Amino acid sequence: MPFSDYRTALVTGASTGIGAVIVERLAKRGLEVHAVARDSARLDALAGRTGCVPHTADITSTEALAAVVSGLDIDVLVNNAGVSRTGNILTADEFAVDEQIAVNLRAVLHLVRLVMPGMVERDLGHIVNIGSIAGVYNFGGNTIYHATKSAVHTLSRQLRVDGFGRRVRVTEICPGRVETEIFGRLLGDREKAQREFYDGYESLKPEDIASALEFAVDSPRHMNVGHIEILPTFQVPGGLEFERRAS
């Protein structure tokens, strides 16, 4: 179903990083793009560059999401917004659990609930969930993030079951390390994050993720690209640890 079949798109987490680049890419392909984020200044700047329609909203508010999509027929929904916190379940506090569930999972479920029925009725639509390799592989730390992204991984497959028989496509994109602001927000120190996570590494760029999305959306209408795992060449997930004890 090429871009010419679609008219409108909605992108969350749109003010920076992957989301902003996706907005730019979809706007260049001729879609009316509704960009959702909390940072109104960055959204306005993005609107100035791309012509997108900015919506300053907190996606953890179901009422705010409903207001954003009210009266809109969204053809392409991109669930991109996400947050993470350091530590595992042994060190997590209540806020870390609630925030990540609210942003990474609950908002995704509500947006799909609000938008997908219209796609089914029109027999036209594409849902793209920006997941993570953390949703399909286990590695140390960020336990709640892993759990929420794993739920998005399962949801992405389930949505194809829910929309069976209608021309509604679902794509999950699972990136490895992408050079964005997420680690800077995570550590509260952008320069430290740059040194620890990006300097000396060949990381993915937001443009790489936007290109993967563009490929999936622009595929022929008989073709659903269900899952894209995209990592830097020098990043390999997985591994096995085995602790040996004498007693």
Positions marked catalytic = 145
Burial 218-241 (b: 16+ CB within 10 A, else e): bbeeeebbeebbebbeeeeeeeee
Question: Is residue 95 classed exposed, middle or buried when 0-12, 13-18 and 19+ CB atoms within 10 A define those classes?
Answer: exposed
Query: What sign has the CA pseudo-torsion 18, 205, 92, 78?
Result: positive
CA–CA distance, 133 with 206 (Å, rounded to integer): 15
CB atoms within 10 A of CB 199: 9
Q: Do 1 and 221 meet the contact criterion of CB atoms below 8 Å apart?
A: yes
